[in-house]
Amino acid sequence: MAGRKLFKGNEAVAEAAVRAGCRYFFGYPITPQNEIPEYMSRRLPEVGGAFVQAESEVAAINMVYGAAGTGARVMTSSSSPGISLKQEGISYIAGADLPCLIVNMVRGGPGLGGIAPAQSDYFQATRGGGHGDYHLIVYAPASVQEMVDLTLGAYDVAERYRMPVMILGDGVLGQMMEPVSFPDQMAPDRPAPEWATRGARDGRTPRLINSIYLKPEELYKHNLDMAERFEKASANEVRYEEVLADDAELLLVAYGTTSRVCRAAIEKLRERGIKAGLFRPITVSPFPYDALSKRAKSAKAVLTVEMSMGQLVDDVKIAVAGAAPVHFFGTTGGVIPKASDIAEYAAGIVGEEVR
């Protein structure tokens, strides 16, 4: 690894994608992720790739479909309203079993919402997002370096399971600068996959990239196959982090930027003699249900903290399954929770449940 450099999250995720072999980017401007297309527009030509500013998010994601169908490592990025527009193409990409990388730097919604950081696209990201029976593999990094590390491995994972990978960030992660290091080497060139449509050369049988199965039995079989692959990803790719969780009587659950604030809240709580810990999902799809389920058994109460009116909390309830009471502390609309407010709320729970 080379020395550390100070990088904005948006530029770091773009550079990490390039190091991971991304050569094609199709996007459309939207705050707070504009540094990604801007960076790619100057970076990709340097490495023999191509950048296209599409006429819309809808067009951009369909360009991703076409490029991914040729076996290329391809990426798009946007923020919440733009990701909603991309859902058509994301469903088709998933339906056609194509790997690609999608970055969502989430901002407040619904509608045009605001441009400040939020986590209110959790349901959309973790439940597929578009129409049909599919899932994405969704990473929720909490630092610029982690965003880089997850992006570096994203294409391998997307190609292994033949499904899109999403990096679920937010306005803070996109705009924040932190020191990062990148690998010196670019990902090695790899041969085009055996399903890629690049022309039926040397007499091989023509190939088709497709998501249409008009016979119910065939679509059934296809959806089962997709579900099996997601099952495998659930077995192999789930990631999470625990902080001071071993002896935690109060277990906070949070991801991304909010998990960083929760670390500060936990410090405050520990200073007051309250045994608080953190469970942080790194993959929010597949979700670390088993690990959280185990951890929740040793806690007296669980507190979900997120920048939404309660989305992650549903997965937490699924995992905890009644083993401990699940509380919720949320801020919405682009407001970042304060560590002191979280600690105060948590202390209140402890008063009721832990003591």
Partner 1 sequence: MVEEIIIAGFGGQGVMIMGQLLSYAGMHEGKNVSWIPSYGPEMRGGTANCSVVISDEQIGSPIVAEPTTAIVMNRPSLDRFEPAVRPGGLLIYNSSLIDRAPERTDIRVIAVPANELALELGSDKVANMVVLGAYLKATGAVSEQAVRDCLSEVLPARRRELIPLNVKALARGAGLVS
Partner 2 sequence: MKQVYSVPKSLRPVSTHYCPGCTHGIIHKLVAETIDELGVRDRAIGVASVGCSVFSYDYFDCDFQQAAHGRAPAVATGIRRTVPDAVVFTYQGDGDLASIGTAEIVHAAMRSENITVVFVNNAIYGMTGGQMAPTTMVGQRTTTSPEGRIKGLAGEPIRVSEMLATIPGATYVARVSTTSPAHIAKAKRAIKKAFEVQLAGGGFSLVECLSTCPTNWGMSPVEAMEWVDKNMIPYYPLGEFRTPEGGQTNG
| Least distance (Å) between residue 140 CB and partner 1 | 16
Q: Which of 200, 309, 318, 321 binds partner 2 (CB under 8 A)?
A: 200
| Least distance (Å) between residue 337 CB and partner 1 | 9
Residues 16-55 that bind partner 2 (CB under 8 A): 23-24, 26, 50, 52, 54-55
| Least distance (Å) between residue 161 CB and partner 2 | 20
- Which of partner 2, partner 1, none lies near 134, with the C-beta cut-off 5 to 8 A by kind? none
| Least distance (Å) between residue 235 CB and partner 1 | 30
| Least distance (Å) between residue 34 CB and partner 2 | 20
Is there binding between residue 66 and partner 2 (CB under 8 A)? yes
Which region among 82-90, 173-181, 191-199, 298-306 touches partner 1 (by CB under 8 A)? 173-181
| Least distance (Å) between residue 85 CB and partner 2 | 11
Specify the 3-state DSSP secondary structure of 167: strand
- Which of partner 1, partner 2, none lies near 85, with the C-beta cut-off 5 to 8 A by kind? none
Binding letters toward partner 1, positions 115-154, x by CB under 8 A: xx--------------------------------------
Distance between CA atoms of 42 and 38, rounded to whole angstroms?
7
Which among 48, 2, 58 has a CA at the least distance from the CA of 26? Answer: 58
Name the burial class of residue 264, with classes exposed (0-12), middle (13-18) and buried (19+) by CB atoms within 10 angstroms of its CB.
middle
Specify the 3-state DSSP secondary structure of 91: helix
Q: Please say whether the beta carbons of 351 and 342 come within 8 A.
A: no
- Which of partner 1, partner 2, none lies near 119, with the C-beta cut-off 5 to 8 A by kind? none
Which among 134, 313, 151, 149 has a CA at the least distance from the CA of 233? Answer: 134
Task: Give φ, ψ of 168 to 5 degrees.
Answer: -100, 95
Distance between CA atoms of 226 and 162, rounded to whole angstroms?
9
Q: Which of 177, 208, 224, 235 binds partner 1 (CB under 8 A)?
A: 177
Task: Give φ, ψ of 135 to 5 degrees.
Answer: -130, 155
Distance between CA atoms of 280 and 343, rounded to whole angstroms?
17
Q: Is the dihedral of CA 39, 161, 317, 271 positive or negative?
A: negative
Is there binding between residue 134 and partner 2 (CB under 8 A)? no
Is there binding between residue 218 and partner 2 (CB under 8 A)? no
Is there binding between residue 280 and partner 1 (CB under 8 A)? no
Residues 73-112 that bind partner 2 (CB under 8 A): 74, 88-89, 92, 96
DSSP-derived pairing of the beta strands 165-170 and 276-281:
unpaired
Distance between CA atoms of 354 and 338, rounded to whole angstroms?
23
Is there binding between residue 339 and partner 1 (CB under 8 A)? yes
Distance between CA atoms of 220 and 322, rounded to whole angstroms?
33
- Which of partner 1, partner 2, none lies near 295, with the C-beta cut-off 5 to 8 A by kind? none
DSSP-derived pairing of the beta strands 137-139 and 283-285:
antiparallel
Q: Please say whether the beta carbons of 46 and 20 come within 8 A.
A: no
Interacting residues with partner 1 (CB under 8 A): 4, 6, 31-32, 115-116, 171-172, 175-179, 257, 260-261, 263-264, 267, 336, 338-340
